[in-house]
Amino acid sequence: MNLEKRWISAFVIIAIIAVIGLFWPHQKAVIGSQFNAVSTINYADVAWLLTASCLVLLMTPGLSFFYGGMVGKKNVISTMLKSFICLGVVSLLWVVVGFSLSFGDPIGFSIDGKYYGIIGNPFDFTFFDSVEGLPNATLGPTIPFILFALFQMKFAVITPAIITGALAERIRFISFLLFISLFVLLIYTPLCHMIWHPHGLLGGYFGVKDFAGGTVVHMSAGFAALAGVLVLGKRKNSEHIPTNIPFVLLGTGLLWFGWFGFNAGSALAANATAAMAFATTTIASASAMMTWVFFDRLNGRKVSALGACIGAVVGLVVITPSAGFVSIPQSIFFGFIGAIVSNKMVYWNKLKQIDDTLDVFACHGVGGIMGMILTAIFAEGENASLLHGGWSVFGHHMMALLLVSVFTFGGAYLLFKFTNAIIPLRVSEESETEGLDLSQHGERF
């Protein structure tokens, strides 16, 4: 199939979705065991979650600036677009079937007499059936179910967008669209279900604590990025100077600002937990930023705006899984240790050799791993962590870490191989030399 026919096929798929959605028999939400009455809605919670959803959406354009400023001048637009396009692709997938796969009734197996899911029923909320103004009794009991679904959608949007930084300057655009569609449906949604659904395997049985997505978002994106780099291979010219550092600063500011919705919004209420998550988020990021620039200087590198921005984002990643479970002083330590480990990984020669363009695995993958380990050690509350006597919880976290790593890396590797068999992942050598802005999009920065 030539390239033009592939684009025609993609357009036909969008047309089919639009027509099916128009005639899909929509089910109305009914008050009962699954849905609460409208009177149970807390309007302070609604106002905060509406705001948090907007903040999380803003993170994806922020990520596009963050990545776009780091690449070479011939690839700025293509890199930014790959993040931005996720707002379109993933939003449609989420409405059609992604939300059902993530938060539908569990499909899985029984352990010790209890049922745990590995994926949700794809037909429960197809085309947002029953996803309306009534609160779901277990998934956000004080906010409209539609608001919960949209808040979660923004997490699904930014996850594949994070992957793009590792593949920049050499991946074909239509191949990327196919891969992120498969990634969201086959890797993100089961991982989301297993950790965040009340009866998910990792959250329900293993007791994994992931407050806002250190595992679901950052580890999955980091390991998928690593798999993509190994399948794609190195760029023809892996040496480049970042084009626009002010873009990186702007993107970092937007990410930091949006991350308050990402973490504090995950309390799903306007309450003390949201306030603590808000505080730990910004303090961990501040700690990581300062640690990164000082650590750079101790290692003979100049204090750079780029390093400060990367450090700040690493701090945000590391605190994400435990933002609502730890104290302010602990968040300082999270940022400190996370920045040092990720900094060492960024400059590790083994990773440099495989050409992860924007160090996605070193920052998001390793940051997510560190966050998960530190959460298992320090987190307070239900399912006590290691420092609070929860040896079994710590052990379960380490087993889950291994399972998630194998699942996300292995699954993404297979999806990249499958995508490459249908549509070659890499652009031609001529297109890569010319730059993807012109060769893929006919635009110039």
Query: What are the tens digits of pLDDT across the range 389-402?
Result: 567 778 888 999 99
Mean pLDDT computed over 407-419: 98
Contact 288, 339 (CB under 8 A): yes
DSSP-derived secondary structure for 7-20: HHHHHHHHHHHHHH
Quick one: pLDDT band at residue 238, thresholds 50, 70, 90? confident
**Distance, CA of 294 to CA of 190 (rounded, Å):** 40
| Residue 385 vs residue 169, higher pLDDT | 169
Mean pLDDT computed over 402-413: 97
Mean pLDDT computed over 63-90: 97
Contact 400, 204 (CB under 8 A): no
**Distance, CA of 316 to CA of 259 (rounded, Å):** 7
Quick one: pLDDT band at residue 328, thresholds 50, 70, 90? very high
Q: Residue holding tokens 């049985």? A: 205
**Distance, CA of 159 to CA of 190 (rounded, Å):** 14
Average pLDDT of the chain, as a whole number: 94
116 forms bridges with which residues in the sheet? 109
**Distance, CA of 362 to CA of 319 (rounded, Å):** 16
Mean pLDDT computed over 58-69: 98
**pLDDT the model gives residue 329:** 96
**Helix (H) / strand (E) containing 120:** strand 114-120
Mean pLDDT computed over 272-299: 98
**pLDDT the model gives residue 382:** 61
Environment class of 362 (CB within 10 Å of its CB; exposed 0-12, middle 13-18, buried 19+):
buried
**Distance, CA of 226 to CA of 224 (rounded, Å):** 5
Contact 12, 1 (CB under 8 A): no
Please state the pTM of the whole predicted model.
0.95
**pLDDT the model gives residue 350:** 84
Q: Is the pLDDT of residue 3 over 70?
A: no
Sequence-separated (6 or more) residues with CB below 8 Å from residue 100: 120, 121, 122, 123, 124, 125, 126
Tokens of residue 75, six digits? 């690839």
Quick one: pLDDT band at residue 237, thresholds 50, 70, 90? confident
Mean pLDDT computed over 150-179: 97
| Cα atoms found within 13 Å of the Cα of residue 129, Cβ hemisphere only | 16
Quote the Cα angle for 182-404-125, to 5°: 50
Quick one: pLDDT band at residue 48, thresholds 50, 70, 90? very high
**pLDDT the model gives residue 384:** 61
Burial string for 66-93 (b: 16+ CB within 10 Å, else e) reads bbbbbbbebbbbbbbbbbbbbbebbbbb
Please report, rounded to a whole number, the percentage of residues in the chain having pLDDT higher than 90: 86
**pLDDT the model gives residue 396:** 86
CA-CA distances (angstroms) from residue 30 to 149, 300, 433?
17, 64, 58
Query: What are the tens digits of pLDDT across the range 8-34?
Result: 888 999 999 999 998 888 888 889 889
Mean pLDDT computed over 96-110: 96
**Distance, CA of 417 to CA of 19 (rounded, Å):** 31
Mean pLDDT computed over 434-438: 96
**Helix (H) / strand (E) containing 114:** strand 114-120
